[in-house]
Amino acid sequence: MKNYAKFIGKRVFYMLMTLFLIATITFFLMKLLPGTPYSNQDKLSPEQIHIMNEKYGLNKPILVQYGIYLFGLVTGDLGVSFQFNNTPVTELIASRIGPSAQIGIQAVVVGTLVGIVLGIIAAMKQGTWVDSSATFAAIIGRSIPNFVFAVLLQLVFGVWFNVLPIALWTGFASSILPSIALAISPMADSARFTRTEMVDVLSSDYVELARAKGLGKWEVAFKHGLRNVLIPLVTILGPMTVGLMTGSMVVESIFAIPGIGEQFVKSIMTNDYPTIMGVTMLYSLLLVSVILLVDVLYGIIDPRIRVATEGEA
């Protein structure tokens, strides 16, 4: 167990290194973006621009700006937004993270759980119409972009049945449609993945042994199959999270949800450097945390990995 902690510590260190690299690369890439943060530059005199640049430190050499930025990052200061009424970026993010986190988490949980169940059913009914229709649904879910689903959901539940709000953020009810729209692709992914893995596991020797013990088919699938299916499934959690983040930008815009994604899109269009950097760092932090979580989960689900890492460290 001590070695396991050492292993996690090592992973956390790598994670910080990754974040540092992301911060550096994003900073310089952003500086290469054409244009300036000033939306109506034509109306500003060179003096005014100079004063503004002076105020925001944009006339300093790039390396100095980079240094200031890194120092701020380490001390938890992400700077002040150019566009959103001079609010500090940290405050801006804090005020908008709620809705994004809520629909994101709802989408991941519902999506993967439903996906796993569908995948198991498809695997158990392998080769029947149930299997084919589940596979078909998964392909549809995977290939149709989530903004199409978003609009479709708005039409069906918002306009035709009029049971859920079409847009805006007024509480849980308004989180349902965007969550579903976001959940479609993780659901399709995990369903497909679970089915493939389960089919494999069901033909394995230990499943046959479990059957020979007198267990029923479903009993075997859940008691012996599921945990072994989850091991490879954990792998796709990382890419799935990325998909959700990018997906949420579009979906939040469609449902007019005051979330991070929506803000990110706006900040890029206006060259709002501190906000771009802040949100990028937030997304990166989220992603590397998911990757770390995946590693930890592996250890929990698969006893072989726990021992292997203990041996290695």
Q: Please report, as ranges, the residues that interact with other proteins according to CB under 8 A.
A: 204-206, 208-216, 224, 227-228, 231, 301-304, 307
Q: How far is the CB of 230 from other proteins (least distance, A)?
A: 9
With respect to other proteins, which residue has the nearer C-beta, 163 or 209? 209
With respect to other proteins, which residue has the nearer C-beta, 167 or 296? 296
With respect to other proteins, which residue has the nearer C-beta, 79 or 225? 225
Q: Which residues pair with 80 in a beta bridge?
A: 88
Q: How far is the CB of 174 from other proteins (least distance, A)?
A: 41
Residue entry with tokens 């759980």: 113
Q: Using a CB cutoff of 8 Å and minimum separation of 24, what contacts does 19-27 make?
A: 19/281, 19/284, 19/285, 19/288, 22/280, 22/281, 22/284, 23/69, 23/70, 23/73, 23/277, 23/281, 23/284, 24/66, 26/276, 26/277, 26/280, 26/281, 27/66, 27/69, 27/277
Q: How far is the CB of 116 from other proteins (least distance, A)?
A: 16
With respect to other proteins, which residue has the nearer C-beta, 72 or 232? 232
Q: How far is the CB of 301 from other proteins (least distance, A)?
A: 7
Half-sphere exposure of 308 (CA within 13 A, CB side): 8
Say how far apart CA 267 and CA 273 lie, in whole Å.
8
With respect to other proteins, which residue has the nearer C-beta, 31 or 227? 227
With respect to other proteins, which residue has the nearer C-beta, 295 or 302? 302
Q: Which amino acid is at 196?
A: T
Say how far apart CA 235 and CA 243 lie, in whole Å.
14
Q: In this structure, what DSSP letter does residue 158 have?
A: I
- Report residue 294 as tokens: 């995946």
Q: How far is the CB of 115 from other proteins (least distance, A)?
A: 20
Q: How far is the CB of 192 from other proteins (least distance, A)?
A: 22
